Chain A
Amino acid sequence: MAEPVIELRDVSKRYGARAAVESLSIALERGSFTALLGGSGSGKTTALKLINGLIAPDAGEVMIEGRPAGEGPGYALRRRIGYVFQEVGLFPHMTVAENIAIGPRLAGWDARRTGERVAELLALVDLPPDAGPRRPSELSGGQRQRVGVARALAAGPAIMLMDEPFGALDPVTRDALGRDYRALHERLGLTTLMVTHDVWEALLLADRIVVMDAGAILADAPPAALLAGHPDARVQALMETPRRQAERVRAMAERP
């Protein structure tokens, strides 16, 4: 097996007496799309922030592309990793184009190269070219999240971290954006780690699902394997709902 792009080795993080993450070990291969699935307080967001250095581990090692995450300054690491989250966090005082250009600006690109990149990204995330000069407040929720994805991709990172990226959107937009992103992931050869509490989203988008609870891993398998059954009762219960819903939808489709 090739060297993993992201690797957590026995990583722990405590807040007071409570362990957010306990002896967590995961390795992600280049080009993989992994979903970190769990309820609130399962430690999935902590795990994500440990990877881009927003949170420092109490114990264990985080390796990014073969080098310790804590090696250089945190901001330098984060410039190499795309980051998308539920609140989007577009800068309201900047235009859409300025928001997307943040990564290139931090990387010191010149104006011409940055302008070309912004136009390219608007097209890539399926936004009209005239969205550039607009303010984030003039866009719909789905469009705003497309800008969020474009901003994360702008400086050309190989790794994308996503924290409930489509959670606040309506089901139709959410589905469209999920599929569009999955296509981008393939096209650009990204390594994506997506945190979600939505089983459907994890099943439909990811190649691999890591189920977390109370800071530890319950299950780690491809979607089909998890649906087929798992020895842990909690994982079994988690997969029960989509399985039953799928059955009902299929039954309806067969008897019009």
Chain B
Amino acid sequence: MEDRFDAALALLPGYLGQHVLVSASALLLGLAVSLPLAVGASRSAALRWPVLALASLVQTIPSLALLALFYPLLLALSAASRAMFGHGFAALGFLPSLLALTLYSMLPILRNGVAGLSAVDPAAVEAARGVGMTDRQRLFWVELPLAAPVIMAGVRTAAVWTIGAATLATPVGQTSLGNYIFAGLQTENWVFVLFGCVASAVLAMAADQLLGLIESGLSARRRWRIWAGLAGLAIGLAACLAPLAGAGGGANRYVVGAKNFSEQYILAELLADRIRKTGAAVDMKEDLGSNIAYQALKAGEIDAYVDYSGTLWANVLGRRDNPGRQAVLATLTEALARRDGVRVVGAIGFENAYALAMPRAKAAALHIASLADLAAHASELTFGADLEFLSRPEWTAVRRAYGLAFRREVQYQPTFMYRAAASGQADVISAFSSDGRIAADDLVVLADPRHALPPYDSVLLVSPRRAHDARLIGALSPLIAKIPVEAMRAANLSVDRDRDKATPAAAARALEGRLGL
């Protein structure tokens, strides 16, 4: 408990800095776009309706979806820009988060802007015209100062929303306080989840109070309150961003990626450790979505990560066949290098296959040992899948091969999927073969006699720009064919279990010790 708190605290400067950077930039950009729009909308009824309707529409999109949608959009724009101007830009991380959060921050500023400007006393407006002010002077000398308290109240709301929504930027590759929440959820580290929630809430409240001070200064016309609020914001911003200043780029900095589950966190720590031993600095980009990780590698936003051959086979190459483990690996190595310049350094030993699993007692009672046996009982059983399995080509293949039709299909975040199997809410689950919880929860993996599921060798990938980086390849090559599935299961379980939990970094070091690396 205490060491987990210490581990969380050690990550705070980096996470907080990134969180503040992205939310403050989004808020400033939102303000810069929304204020002129609000002025235009308050003066023209023809503009008011579409602007407010559009901003409201954006607000109805779930924020996680909004963040996710910017990734393919930016990817397409980046490809277009590469085709036209010869260079693209990063479609992951800061940019999609900035744009999505900016859109998200606009509604309260727009609404309050229009309301505040429309509510300015008509007598003051007539007087401003009567004394001979130009439209600009009337806006800046009279209307904006009088509407400022209402506009500021909108900025406060926008700030609280943006800081909260920024925790959802983690899955698109922007480090934020959400890293605590996503990683904690995956590894059942509730200390991390709570730490992330509290940190983001405290940040939101602090920003709200300081903006509130400015708002009250504007409405009571007390200059010192406005200056105190601004000074507080500036000091807070500088303090939060200071840790980022030292972490600037450089050719010797490597970025290691990880998808969003325990095994990936441990492997990322392992890769990072190996690279650090050469004296190079390493940044981590964790909690990437399954497909996003490969795209990020291809674009050079991360330099190395571990993926699974079956996933790449189906999702990147779009293949539905299963020519066998070695053939899949060989084809992938050749095709990824040719297509994307991505280097497959090699398989690191264990397989992490999708596998259907069920509690041992239930399987024995129904005499189910394979997927073929399962088909006969499926209509009475509930299937618990992780969030992506039901939409993956592997599921289609398995369902077709065995004619599986379950009574009910339920999707869970992986942690809760195992819990559902243990509590009986799900009879069969889509487990991962290297997961320590299969043994710990006494589940049996059902055999796949028709080879409907492709092989899932864990393979080490390196980005195109580092494909011939001798230092990186030299640091990572010793891992090839080194990690047996038992070692990986034990490491995974040490992170996932309820008691005596290890952090992914500690599990990685234990794994290194065990393998004698």
B133 → chain A closest CB, angstroms = 6
Determine if B132 and A78 form an interchain contact, defined as CB atoms under 8 angstroms apart.
yes
Contact: B129 with A54, CB < 8 Å? Answer: yes
Report if B124 contacts A (CB, 8 A). Answer: yes
**Please, what's the 1-or-0 string for B93-134, where 1 marks a CB less than 8 Å from any CB in chain A?**
000000000000000000000000000011111111111111
A244 within 8 A of B: no
CB pair A92 B130 closer than 8 Å: no
Q: Is the CB of A79 within 8 A of B132?
A: yes
Query: Complex formed: what's the CA distance from A92 to B146 in Å?
Result: 8
Cβ B121 vs Cβ A78 within 8 A? no
A74 to chain B, nearest CB (A): 8
Range, interface on chain B: 20 to 34
Q: Is A89 an interface residue (CB 8 A)?
A: yes
The CA-CA distance from A78 to B135 in the complex, in Å, is: 13
Q: Which residues of A contact B221 (CB under 8 A)?
A: 93, 135
Contact flags A127-165 to B (C-beta < 8 A → 1, else 0): 000000001000000000000000110000000000000
B300 at the A interface (CB under 8 A): no
Q: For residues 68 through 102 of chain A, which have their beta carbon under 8 Å from a beta carbon of chain B? A: 73, 75-80, 83, 85, 87-93, 102
- For residue A51, give the distance in angstroms from its CB to the closest CB of chain B: 12
Question: With contacts A92-B146, A93-B145 known, is A75 near B133, CB below 8 A?
Answer: yes
Question: Are the CB atoms of A78 and B126 closer together than 8 Å?
Answer: no
Given contacts A88-B123, A92-B124, A93-B221, contact A52 B130 (CB under 8 A): yes
- B81 at interface by CB-CB < 8 Å: no
Question: CA A78 – CA B141 in complex, angstroms?
Answer: 17
Q: Is the CB of B123 within 8 A of A89?
A: yes
Q: How far is the CA of A102 from the CA of B141 in the complex (A)?
A: 10
Q: Are A89 and B127 in contact (CB under 8 A)?
A: yes
Which of B121, B122, B134 is A92 in contact with, Cβ under 8 Å?
B121
Residues A54 and B130 in contact in the complex (CB < 8 Å), given A88-B123, A92-B124, A92-B146: yes
Contact status A106-B142, CB under 8 Å: no
Report the nearest A residue to B145, measured CB to CB: A93
Shortest Cβ gap from B456 to chain A (Å)? 67
Q: Which of A17-49 contact B (CB under 8 A)?
A: none
Are A78 and B145 touching (Cβ within 8 A)? no
How far does the Cβ of A136 sit from chain B's closest Cβ, in whole Å?
10
Q: Does A223 contact B (CB under 8 A)?
A: no
Which A residues touch B291, using CB under 8 A?
Answer: none
Q: State A40–B215 Cα separation when bound (angstroms).
A: 41
User: A215 an interface residue at 8 Å Cβ cutoff?
Assistant: no
Residues of B within 8 A of A85 (CB): 123, 126-127, 130
Instruction: Say whether B137 faces chain A, with CB atoms less than 8 Å apart.
Output: yes
**A91 smallest CB distance to B (angstroms):** 6
Contact B132 A89 (CB under 8 A): no
Do B130 and A76 touch across chains, with their CB atoms under 8 A apart? no
Residue numbers in A under 8 Å from B122 (CB-CB): 87
User: Which residue of B121, B131, B134, B146 is within 8 Å of A102 (Cβ)?
Assistant: B131
A57 contacts partner chain B, Cβ-Cβ < 8 Å:
no
Complex Cα spacing A94 to B5, Å? 52
Q: Is the CB of A106 within 8 A of B146?
A: no
Q: A87-B123, A89-B123 are in contact. Are A76 and B132 (CB under 8 A)?
A: yes
Shortest CB distance B350–A (Å): 70
Q: Among the interface residues A79, A93, A152, which one has the most CB atoms of the partner chain B within 10 A?
A: A93
B131 touches A106 (CB 8 A): yes
Chain A residue nearest to B130 in the complex (CB) = A83
Residue in contact with A83 in the complex, picked from B131, B137, B145, CB distance below 8 Å? B131
Task: From the candidates B128, B131, B141, name the one contacting A79 in the complex (CB within 8 A).
Answer: B131
A106 touches B127 (CB 8 A): no
Q: Is the beta-carbon distance between A89 and B134 smaller than 8 angstroms? A: no
Cα distance A54–B145 in the bound complex, in angstroms: 23
Looking at A78, A85, A92, the one whose CB has the most chain B CB atoms below 10 A away is A92
Residues of B within 8 A of A78 (CB): 129-132
Q: Are A75 and B123 in contact (CB under 8 A)?
A: no
With A and B bound together, what is the CA distance between A135 and B221 in angstroms? Answer: 10
Query: Is there an interface contact between B123 and A106, defined as CB atoms closer than 8 Å?
Result: no
Shortest distance in angstroms between B128's beta carbon and chain A's nearest beta carbon?
8
Measured CB to CB, the closest approach of chain A to B70, in angstroms, equals: 40
Q: Which of A79, A87, A88, A135 has the most CB of B within 10 A?
A: A87
Interface contact A75-B130, CB-CB below 8 Å:
no
Having A78-B129, A87-B122, one finds 11 other A-B pairs with CB under 8 Å, namely A78-B130, A79-B131, A83-B130, A87-B123, A88-B127, A89-B127, A91-B124, A91-B127, A92-B121, A106-B131, A135-B221
Q: Jot down 24 A-B pairs with beta carbons below 8 A, ordered by A.
A: A54-B126, A54-B129, A73-B134, A75-B129, A75-B133, A78-B129, A78-B131, A79-B131, A79-B132, A83-B130, A85-B123, A87-B123, A88-B123, A88-B127, A89-B123, A89-B125, A89-B126, A90-B124, A91-B124, A92-B121, A93-B146, A102-B133, A103-B131, A106-B137
Which 4 residue pairs of A and B lie closest in terms of their CB atoms, listed nearest first? A89-B127, A79-B132, A87-B123, A78-B132
**Residues of B in contact with A (beta carbons under 8 Å apart):** 121-134, 137, 141-142, 145-146, 221
Q: Using a CB–CB distance below 8 Å, which chain A residues touch chain B?
A: 52, 54, 73, 75-80, 83, 85, 87-93, 102-103, 106, 135, 151-152
